[in-house]
Every structure is written in C-alpha cells, then in structure tokens.
Amino acid sequence: MASYLLRRLLVTFPTLLGVSVLVFLSLHLAPGDPALVMLGPKATATSLEALRTELGLDRPLHVQYLRWIGGVVSGDWGRSIQLRAGVLPLVWERFQATLILAVVAMIVAVGIGIALGVASAVVAGSLLDRTAITTTLIGYSLPPFFLGIVLQVVLGLRMGWFPVTGMYPAGGGDFGDLLTHLVLPAVTLAAGIGALLARMTRATMLEVLRQDYVRTAQAKGLTRRVVVLQHAFRNALIPILTIVGLQTGYVLGGAVLVEQVFSWPGIGTLAINAILARDFPLVQGVTLMVAGTYVFTNLLTDVAYTLVDPRISYQ
C-alpha cells in the first residue's frame, strides 16, 4: 500500500512538470512579443528592450522556463501586470474562496446525487424512478449560468431567502454568514454534477443488483436493505468514486461561471479578467494553481480506490 502510494506520487511529478511546461508555453505561444503585450502599443524600442532583458526574454527558451519554474518553486510567481501585485498572494487568496465553493458544491452534489441514484435504482421503473430520471436529466441539461441567474432572482430577490452576491456581508462576517452566502452558488454549481452522479449511480447500481452474488445474498434471505447497502452499494462505489474524482475538475472549471453570476471573489473572476486583459503572469499563475489542484485531486481519488478496494493496488 505504502509503496503503491509512493509510486503513484512519483508518477504525479512528471505530469505536474508537463503541466508547468504547457502553462509556460501558453505565454510564449501567444502571438506577438510578450513584452509588447505587456507594454502595449505605446511601447518605445528602448522600453521594450529593457523589459525583454528584465523578463529574460532574450535568453533561450529553456533557460527562461527554468528561471520561471525556479521562481514558482521558491514562491515567486511573478507580478500581475494589471493588478500591480504579486501573482502568488493574489491567486492564493482567491483560490481559497473557490475551494470553499467547490468543496461545498461537491458535498451537496455527491450527497444528493448518490442518494437519489441508489433510491432510484432500488425502485427502478416506478413513478418515483421516472420522476428522478426526468429531474436529473433537466438538471444535467441546464446551463449553470442560466440556472444561477434564475435562482438569484427568484430565491434571492423575490423571496429574499438568501444573499445574492459575495461571500460575506460587507466588512466581514462569521461562519453562519458564509453558509447563507454559499447556498445559491453552491446549489447552482452542484446541480449538473449531482444530476450526473445520480444517473451514474443508478446505472451502476442496476448493473450490480443484477449480479449473481447480489441474487445469492437475496436468496439467502438477507433483508433488502442489507443487500442494497452492504453488498450492492459497496461494489458500486468504485465507479462512482471515479466519476466523483473526474468531476472535481469540472467543479473547479464550472466555478468560473457561477462566480461571475454571484460575484463570488474566487479564482474564476480573477482568471476571466486576467485573460481579457492578457495579463499573462496572472493567467499562468491561475492555470498552474487549478491544474495542480486537479492533479492532486486525481491522486486523492486513486488513493481512495485503494481504500475501498484493496485489490487495485496490486495491479
């Protein structure tokens, strides 16, 4: 187990390294001179030359990459052109907000999705099942930005039940404030993933329920509850975990849109502004942070497998 984890961890590094190369190249693949992009058309030849030297753009590409990655490792992620501040503090502060939103949305999605999927599979073909299927299909087909807008107006403004923007009341607030501010964005973000999870769970459960050992267990006279939860669900868990792990990436991505709708001070709003302003150091920082998280989550998912099903580690 330990050696598997170690091996898995070792495999992560090349991926991260590759990711960093891609992120780095994104700046250098962009049409035009990065220095010109930074200075704009007002640039003079001298200021361009000075900036190129300052940024090390006159060096060979691999030297530039090593310098940048060296900076990244030692905590110097460069300076945002537009916001005139260090990239790492900017990204880190916003990232925490996104993480809170993503984790809560994921918990909501997993909880509701799996419960609905299991329940639906158990009563397959019934009215409840069909209602659940329809609901999840709708949830899955609704563009999240559209759902967010509707929730904001109906539940936030018409009903006045939840705050509609931001993460805390102005001036800061406590944990309770955070929770109420989380409701609408988290539900918006969770809807699609929850629906997908419900569908996957249902399909997997149906598959498992058809297996011989489940039939055997039922034949042995175990209660349906025990059969479903202890035998079937346990075995359905691995594919479900897979989906959960994969969707984490989409939660992080989907957060961008939801943040925009609810003015959530996360990394998404930061990313959009950085891209629109062609603030490349910041774009690099944001993408690196998110991709790193994604790789790390995949690692966690794999570890979770080994816990659920020890056989996997021997592959």
Partner 1 sequence: MKQRRRFLILLAAMAAGAWAFAQPGSQIVIGLQAEPVTLDVAQLSDYNSSRTAMPMFEGLVRFADGSTDVEPALAERWDVSDDGLVYTFYLRPGVTFHDGTPVNAEAVEFSFERQTDPAHPYHDTGTFPYAEFTLGNIASIEVVDDLTVRLTLRENFAPFLSNLGMHAAALVSPTAVMASGADFSENPVGAGPYRFVSWRRGVEVVLERNPDYWRVTPQVERLIYRPIVEDQARLAALEAGEVDLAVNLPPDDLPRLRSDARFTFAEQAGMHTWYVVFNVTKEPFDDARVRQAVAYAIDRQAIVDAVLGGTGVLAKNFLPPVVWGYTEDVPEYPYDPERARELLAEAGYPDGFEVEFWVPASGSGMQQPVAMGTVIQDYLSRVGIEATIQQFEWGTYLDRVIVPLDSADTVPAMFQMSWIGDNGDPDNFLYILLSGDQFPPFGFNLGFYANPEVDAILREARTTSDHDARVTLYEEAQRLIMADMPVVPVDHETQIVIHRTGIEGFVPHPTGVFRFEKVEVSAP
Partner 2 sequence: MSAGPRALRGAPGPVGPSGGGAGIPGGEPGAPVDGAPAPRGRRAFWRAILGEPVAAVSFVILAVFVLAALLAPWLGLPDPVRGSLIDRLQPPLTPGHLLGTDEFGRDLLSRVVWGARVSLAVGFAAVGIAVVIGVTLGLVSGYLGGRFDFWTQRVVDMLMAFPYILLALMIVAILGPGLMNTMLAISIAGVPYYVRIARSSALTLRKREFVEAAEAAGAGPVRILLRHVLSNSLSPIVVAATLDVGWMIMAAAGMSFLGLGAQPPQAEWGVMLSNGRQFLRVAPWVSLVPGTMIFLVVLTLNLLGDRLRDLLDPRMVGR
Interface residues toward partner 1, by CB under 8 A: 40-42, 82-85, 90, 93-94, 97, 149, 152-153, 156-157, 160, 163-173, 260-263, 265-266, 269-270, 273, 276-278
Minimum CB separation of residue 78 from partner 2 in Å reads 16
CA angle 77, 82, 87 (to 5 degrees): 15
Q: Which residue number, 130 or 224, has a Cβ lying nearer to partner 2?
A: 130
| Residue 277 binds: one of partner 1, partner 2, none (C-beta under 5 to 8 A by kind) | partner 1
Shortest separation between residue 158's beta carbon and partner 1, angstroms? 10
Which ranges of 163-233 does DSSP label H, i.e. alpha helix?
175-209, 212-219, 224-226
Binding characters for partner 2, 138-157, by CB under 8 A (x = yes): x-xxxxxxx--xx--x----
Q: Which listed option, partner 2, partner 1, none, makes contact with residue 204 (CB within 5 to 8 Å by class)? A: partner 2
What 8-state DSSP symbol labels residue 126?
S
Instruction: Note the helical H segments in the chain.
Output: 2-29, 34-39, 45-55, 61-73, 87-122, 127-141, 144-151, 175-209, 212-219, 224-226, 234-262, 267-276, 280-308
From 192, 265, 266, 285, residue interacting with partner 2 (rule: CB under 8 A): 192
- Residue 191 site contact among partner 1, partner 2, none (CB < 5 to 8 Å, cut-off depends on kind): partner 2
Q: Which does 239 bind (CB under 5 to 8 A by kind): partner 2, partner 1, none?
A: partner 2
Binding residue (CB under 8 A) for partner 2 from 137, 226, 229, 307 = 137
Q: How many Cα atoms occupy the beta-carbon half-sphere of 265 within 13 Å?
A: 14
